[in-house]
Chain A
Amino acid sequence: MFRYSTFALALVVSALCAGAEDLLVLQDLSGRQGGRLVYAQRSEPKTFNPIFAADSVSREAIGMMMADLVHINRYTQRTEPALAKSWTVSPDGRRYALELRRGIRFSDGQPFSADDVVFSFRVYLDTALDSPQRDLLMPGGKPIVVKKVGDCRVEFDLPVRYAAAERLFDGFAILPRHLLEPAYKTGKLAEAWGLRTPPAAITGLGPFRLKQNIPGQRLVLERNPYYWKADKNGIRLPYLNEVDLTQAGSEDMQVLRFESGESDVIRRVGAHDFAVLEKESRRRGYTVSDLGPGMEYTSLYFNLDPAAGRPGFLRRRSFRQAVSTAIDRNALVRLVYGGHAAPLGTPVPPGNKAWVDASLRPPVPSVSAARALLSSGGFKWSGGNLLDPAGKRVEFSIITSAGNDDRVQMATLIQADLKELGIQVDVVPLEFRSLLDRVLRTHQFDTALMSMADGDADPNPDMNTWMSDGGNHLWNTAEKSPSMPWEAEIDRLMRQQMTVPDYARRKKMYDLVQQILMEHMPLVPLVSPDILVGAKRNLGNFRPALMDHYTLWNIEELYWRELRTGERP
């Protein structure tokens, strides 16, 4: 009865963006319906609130229940239509007009319209809320202006020209105004959609909706019957009836659950665990694959803040270049990752296919070349120990995250490499937030071995990493303006590439940024680990990708080739 009345209500209200249902038909997709997929997450989602969720596990779950206007295909790394079926860009590149899909509904059956879009972006942009996503909508420091122009049409005005701005829409979940506006008006939006919210009160436009939540144990998602994609045979997606997100507790447990068959898919396996899984794969009925290096890059960052009181040799280019030359990256790849990684010659990882400057090769490790570099920089040796031009013994520490065995091992290998140059290196593993505090706030460190990831395969979201006033400018987060001419040059190039729409020209500028970085070496790029994934052999349309979420990004397309016994079709 209840369903009927809401349906009737919906008919009245849906004058907003009505019309025949605008399904997105995927012409080369087929599969069969039914079945349940079990996926062991590392820990439990902490919230279902897309506005405030900051941890990757929560976002993993939210991603299955929500949809965005324009989506980045994780496999091709290109944008494709989602809730917006098309868009146009004004000649000056600052106005985006998005045509929304007609006649589609939220997972509770309520119709979707331009009002929901406007509401969503009002929330994300609200300065009183401080959503962690807000800054993405502030290119050049000013907010994007969102306007409804008709029931199924929205316009976005950018404050500045911003290349590839349609990529910004990826990941901005469109929220149901009918459910969240009351909480927004009473200032209770942060508490909304917590773990204890009843499943019926959480709704989205994604392929699944929440069915049951058993805290600390598992989350059961069921198919959203209103989902707006269909395959070539006209079957409405998703294929799967249910997704079980169980909570493993640790990475080891994720591996164990996958190996024992209790979890159907695994992503981001460690290299050594991968070797174990690979051996068992035939017997256990799953496949594992190495997708090659992803978007993560591990580097050694030097502390270049002159006010931090750290040794002066860190700020000598010849020293940094010598360190880079002496490090045997291939040994890191072989010993730490069992070969499942790529040595780096630029901080843009090879997984970022469109933007990496492939001409920047990792240096051939050479002690003699490193010695020559040091000599040319005025360094000397005495009794096997390296002395800086001021005659002081060269000794420094590498801090890294104690919770990450791979990085600690890398630091130990680098320590041994640099010993060959007469450099005394101390490896200091620190708890993660203590490490961040030193690198970002107190600057009490010499070098830090850290991993960063290109979240989007575009340079723009990484502005904060390379701009001298950026918060992620790890070699010196204190400076507000470039303190060195090459930093000024990077700033100029980054600002310029942000506004140029033409890919080829942007690429040239970004290549130049990478070349400047490698010439001055504020960081030594080391390795980029491969993305190692696995899934039951029986899982159809499984297309793991180099971008987050790697395995389940196309969860609506996944299906079981043969249903397991006892499962309803």
Chain B
Amino acid sequence: MRYAARRLLHSLVLLIGVSLLSFLFANLAPGDYFSAMQTDPRISAETIAGLRARAGLDQPLPVRYAGWAESMLRGDFGYSLAYNSPVAPLVWERIRATLLLTGTATFVAWLLAIPLGIWSAAHYGGWRDHALNAALSLLLAVPDLVLAIVLLAGAVETGWLPVGGITSPGWDIMDAAARLRDILSHLALPAGVLVLGMLPVLTRHVRAGMLEALRSPFALNARAQGIPRRRLLFHHLLPAAANPLVSLFGFSLGTLLSASLLVEVVTGWPGLGPLFLDAIMGRDFALVLAVVMLSTALLAAGNLAADLLLYRLDPRIRVQ
């Protein structure tokens, strides 16, 4: 417990560090929120300067940081220039959709990766192993975004799945079952893209871990004792192979907010993705920073969870 408390303190320092460096980076990057207005011949430089001053962009960096920190403590998470509104409500509105998507996808990906990896390792060197490897290599080679568009094109062609969004028009008049079906049909495509993107990496690590375990003297020993194969694989070898998988699982938890951002944009999922991408391109910095801070916190939490889990699974490890 003391360990967890100390980690919490470290995470706080981490968050402050991230916010400071983010401010610095954003300050170094060319352009600000108002620079796109400069291309409109109908807006004068004086007006833009006035808008900048109103937004406090003409203030020195420490002053802006102090203003942001104060707003953070109030729970506003800063003030979005594009939306003319505090950031917190904007983010909360969308975070559920993102978590629904990434949570589902992460769960499904692990659910598939573990048996696939074990199966692949159990058939090591055989044609089934090779076939699976080839398929996974293809998934690794195709960028997520291309995959998304391929699936979208298929959805348009067949009409099996809706294209984009999270609910259909007329959602208000649906009953609970219809609503569930509606959400699932919208969720299938973006979640599918994410699962296919996560699957190769996870499966590879499961496979490698299993191979390692299979090669250990302990596996040979167990086989000699006549433990059934399935039982051996799932009950004895999987825990032995778990170490890197636990670290990986920590990453899965830690990237719940950030893993899907681009996929959301491409598949039209109304989560943080479109909001974040617009904000980062548009230099709506408070909004960017809010998402960065949240995902940092989640990343730290995911890693902490992984470390605690590592400790539970492998009592040899003493995490100070």
**Is B283's beta carbon under 8 Å from chain A?**
yes
B35 and A437 contact, CB distance less than 8 A: yes
Query: Can you spell out 18 A-B residue pairs with CB atoms less than 8 angstroms apart?
Result: A36-B169, A54-B36, A55-B82, A127-B50, A134-B47, A191-B85, A196-B85, A196-B89, A216-B94, A247-B270, A249-B164, A249-B270, A253-B152, A256-B153, A260-B163, A432-B36, A437-B35, A471-B41
**Is A135's beta carbon under 8 Å from chain B?**
yes
A132 and B51 contact, CB distance less than 8 A: yes
Partner of B274, one of A44, A196, A218, A257: A44
Q: Beyond A195-B85, A257-B164, is A437–B41 a contact (Cβ under 8 Å)?
A: no
A461 and B37 contact, CB distance less than 8 A: no
Closest to B148 in A: A252
- Among A43, A190, A215, A437, max chain B CB count under 10 A is at A215
- Among B41, B50, B97, max chain A CB count under 10 A is at B41
**Is B167's beta carbon under 8 Å from chain A?**
yes
Return the CB mask of A45-66 against B: 1 if under 8 Å, else 0: 0110100101100000000000
Inter-chain residue pair count (beta carbon < 8 A) = 164
Chain B residues within CB distance 8 Å of chain A: 29-32, 35-45, 47, 50-51, 54, 82-85, 89-90, 93-94, 97, 149, 152-153, 155-156, 159, 162-167, 169, 264-271, 273-275, 278, 281, 283
**Which residues of A109-146 have CB atoms within 8 Å of chain B's CB atoms?**
127, 130-136, 138
**Chain A residues whose CB sits within 8 angstroms of the CB of B266 once the complex forms:** 249-250, 252-253
Closest to B31 in A: A433
Closest 10 CB pairs of A and B: A433-B31, A130-B50, A216-B270, A437-B30, A249-B268, A464-B41, A253-B268, A135-B44, A472-B41, A215-B93
**Is A462's beta carbon under 8 Å from chain B?**
yes
Report the Cα distance A445→B150, complex, angstroms. Answer: 38
Given contacts A249-B269, A434-B30, A437-B31, 11 further A-B contacts (CB under 8 A): A43-B274, A47-B84, A134-B47, A138-B44, A194-B85, A215-B94, A217-B165, A250-B268, A260-B156, A433-B32, A441-B30
Report the Cα distance A442→B30, complex, angstroms. Answer: 10
Q: Beyond A52-B84, A216-B97, A249-B268, is A136–B42 a contact (Cβ under 8 Å)?
A: yes
B47 and A132 contact, CB distance less than 8 A: yes
**Chain A residues whose CB sits within 8 angstroms of the CB of B165 once the complex forms:** 217-218, 246-247
Partner of A130, one of B47, B162, B278: B47
A249 and B84 contact, CB distance less than 8 A: no
Interface size class of A (residues with CB under 8 A): 35 or more
**Is A259's beta carbon under 8 Å from chain B?**
yes
Report the Cα distance A257→B267, complex, angstroms. Answer: 11
A440 and B268 contact, CB distance less than 8 A: no
**Chain B residues whose CB sits within 8 angstroms of the CB of A433 once the complex forms:** 29-32, 35-36, 281, 283
Closest to B159 in A: A260
B42 and A464 contact, CB distance less than 8 A: yes
Partner of A436, one of B38, B44, B275: B38
**Chain A residues whose CB sits within 8 angstroms of the CB of B29 once the complex forms:** 433-434
B264 and A440 contact, CB distance less than 8 A: no
B42 and A250 contact, CB distance less than 8 A: no
Report the Cα distance A58→B42, complex, angstroms. Answer: 18
Partner of A256, one of B30, B39, B164: B164
B156 and A216 contact, CB distance less than 8 A: no
Report the Cα distance A256→B158, complex, angstroms. Answer: 12
Report the Cα distance A257→B149, complex, angstroms. Answer: 12
B268 and A465 contact, CB distance less than 8 A: no
Report the Cα distance A38→B162, complex, angstroms. Answer: 15
A117 to chain B, nearest CB (A): 21
**Chain A residues whose CB sits within 8 angstroms of the CB of B42 once the complex forms:** 133, 135-136, 455, 461, 464
B29 to chain A, nearest CB (A): 8
**Is A411's beta carbon under 8 Å from chain B?**
no
**Chain B residues whose CB sits within 8 angstroms of the CB of A440 once the complex forms:** 35, 38
B306 to chain A, nearest CB (A): 31
**Which residues of A457-488 have CB atoms within 8 Å of chain B's CB atoms?**
461-465, 470-472
**Chain A residues whose CB sits within 8 angstroms of the CB of B267 once the complex forms:** 249, 253
**Is A149's beta carbon under 8 Å from chain B?**
no
A461 and B278 contact, CB distance less than 8 A: no
Q: Beyond A195-B83, A216-B97, is A471–B38 a contact (Cβ under 8 Å)?
A: yes
**Chain B residues whose CB sits within 8 angstroms of the CB of A136 once the complex forms:** 42
**Chain A residues whose CB sits within 8 angstroms of the CB of B85 once the complex forms:** 191, 194-196
Report the Cα distance A43→B50, complex, angstroms. Answer: 27
B164 and A130 contact, CB distance less than 8 A: no
Q: Beyond A52-B84, A253-B266, is A130–B54 a contact (Cβ under 8 Å)?
A: yes
Report the Cα distance A133→B37, complex, angstroms. Answer: 11
Q: Beyond A49-B84, A132-B51, is A249–B264 a contact (Cβ under 8 Å)?
A: yes
A52 to chain B, nearest CB (A): 6
B31 and A436 contact, CB distance less than 8 A: yes
Closest to A455 in B: B42
Report the Cα distance A471→B46, complex, angstroms. Answer: 10
Return the CB mask of A23-56 against B: 1 if under 8 Å, else 0: 0000000000000101010011011010010110
**Chain A residues whose CB sits within 8 angstroms of the CB of B149 once the complex forms:** 252
**Chain B residues whose CB sits within 8 angstroms of the CB of A194 once the complex forms:** 83-85
Report the Cα distance A135→B50, complex, angstroms. Answer: 12
**Chain A residues whose CB sits within 8 angstroms of the CB of B39 once the complex forms:** 436, 452, 472
B51 and A247 contact, CB distance less than 8 A: no
**Chain A residues whose CB sits within 8 angstroms of the CB of B283 once the complex forms:** 433
Report the Cα distance A262→B167, complex, angstroms. Answer: 12
- Among A52, A262, A431, A465, max chain B CB count under 10 A is at A262
**Chain B residues whose CB sits within 8 angstroms of the CB of A465 once the complex forms:** 41
**Is A248's beta carbon under 8 Å from chain B?**
yes
B274 and A432 contact, CB distance less than 8 A: no
Closest to B50 in A: A130
Closest to A284 in B: B156
Partner of B35, one of A38, A138, A248, A436: A436
**Chain A residues whose CB sits within 8 angstroms of the CB of B164 once the complex forms:** 40, 246, 248-249, 253, 256-257, 262
Report the Cα distance A247→B94, complex, angstroms. Answer: 13
**Chain A residues whose CB sits within 8 angstroms of the CB of B268 once the complex forms:** 247-250, 253, 257
A124 to chain B, nearest CB (A): 11
Return the CB mask of A234-261 against B: 1 if under 8 Å, else 0: 0000000000101111101100110110
A318 to chain B, nearest CB (A): 29
Report the Cα distance A403→B280, complex, angstroms. Answer: 13
- Among B31, B36, B54, max chain A CB count under 10 A is at B31
Q: Beyond A218-B169, A253-B163, A260-B156, is A132–B265 a contact (Cβ under 8 Å)?
A: no
Q: Beyond A195-B83, A217-B167, is A260–B155 a contact (Cβ under 8 Å)?
A: yes
Partner of A249, one of B38, B155, B159, B274: B274
**Chain B residues whose CB sits within 8 angstroms of the CB of A215 once the complex forms:** 90, 93-94, 270
Closest to A465 in B: B41
A218 to chain B, nearest CB (A): 7
Report the Cα distance A43→B265, complex, angstroms. Answer: 10
**Chain A residues whose CB sits within 8 angstroms of the CB of B155 once the complex forms:** 260
A216 and B274 contact, CB distance less than 8 A: yes
Report the Cα distance A204→B13, complex, angstroms. Answer: 49
B94 to chain A, nearest CB (A): 5
B157 to chain A, nearest CB (A): 9
Report the Cα distance A253→B36, complex, angstroms. Answer: 24
